[in-house]
Structure 1
Amino acid sequence: MTAPLTPHDHSSHLPPYPGSGGSGPGKGEDRTKAVLSEARRGALVALLVTVCGIALGLLWLWLSPRVPLVSDGKAVYLKDTEGEEAIGGDGTFALIAAGLGILTAAAVFWRYRRGGVGVVLGLAAGGVLASVVGWRLGIWLGPDTDIVAHATAVGPKVVFDAPLELRAKSALVAWSVAAMVVHLVLTSAFGPREPEDDGKGVPPEAYWTPAAPPPAPPASPDSPPDEPPSKE
């Protein structure tokens, strides 16, 4: 009497299916390291972009049109009531911020060509922080924000400059918007491409296991043994 054959399991000898994400002791550690590396990269980008906000404040202070004011000794008035200098100040800030956003996006793409979520978030957050730094720095270095004290110091009938003011706060996102658009375009046009899978890299045997043959029925003790074929 023979024992039934036990089908052999071939699955343990096959390579894992690509993308199946097999569990292993190093999988969690590798993923944690990748996340931490991405976070550090994004924080570094945000910090460096924020420092560039100093350039925004200096350029805004230099290029922004001045709003002339004059005092009669009792009140302060606009010297030119039909002037557009105030609106020009907001536009100048937005244009400078957008230009710096383009430059920082190009620099970040040159340094981190593969991109990544951390780099993109660093660009977005750094652009907003840099705009806030440039805005406050320009006001701090610009004309006196106390208009009454400034008018009293210069005297009546003397023209003086109004303090810098950003009326359209939406200009604070011009840096981030420009940086995100440019970085997306550069990544799409010049970023590394993932190799296309043509299906030839892995043999079909790696994805399926042939069915095991059914076990042979046990031999009966009363059945005669198989006779060898007769030779004629």
Structure 2
Amino acid sequence: MAETAREIADELRERIRSGELRPGARLPGEPKLVKDYGVAKETARRALTLLVTEGLAVRRKGSGTYVREFQPIRRVANERLSQERWGGGRSIWSADVGQRPMSVTELRVYEAPAPDDVAQILELDDGAAVIIRDRLFAVEGEPVQAAVSYLPADLVRESAIAQEDTGPGGTYARLAELGAKPVRFVEELRARMPSQDESERLHLAEGTPVVEIYRTALTEDGKPVEVNRMLLDAGVYVMEYRITG
């Protein structure tokens, strides 16, 4: 009996997770799936697309679809935002990737009027300036996250936050030195499909969604001092939150 694209994808996914199809292995192509499962070519294509969208497989033009070799990134929000980390001179970003090769590319630091939504969150007057830090994070040479931070220019303009290299501990360590130490963070997450420009910047496979995160950093007295808009490749991230009652 012919199977659905979902059922075929489920069987291939199980073969990947069991180790039968190892990282880098070529998945059965559309002609073989058509023959083995008695389905239309379009059904076979959708089955492979599902695995690509989930981040388990990648397409190589003119070659086929392969089990993804890139290992997922586990993002543990509680650990990465701890004062112990950035206060000790370590980057927040390193909490996600450990010893895996990583880099920051396409870094731009500049001053501009705050977008309306950012000005509202940061409690700034209309037209107030912010320092913007726009960058792309890559792991093992693969872009996985784009991030844009907005900070009140009057607060950080004369600090290393307005320079490319923020120094040990990054932005939050510098804010602490300015008397605006972040002690609480609020993150809002949503999943959506990316724009064409976002897909190209993150090198996303067709049909791959993104996770968009807005994080606000607040001081002890509740003053917002940073808004960070992050765009994550949903195919490579595992989101983990540790909650104690």
Whether the TM-score (by the shorter chain) exceeds 0.5 is no
Which one has the largest radius of gyration? Answer: 1
Higher RCO structure (Cα 8 Å, ≥6 apart): 1
- TM interval, shorter chain, is under 0.3
Q: Please identify which structure carries the higher strand content.
A: 2
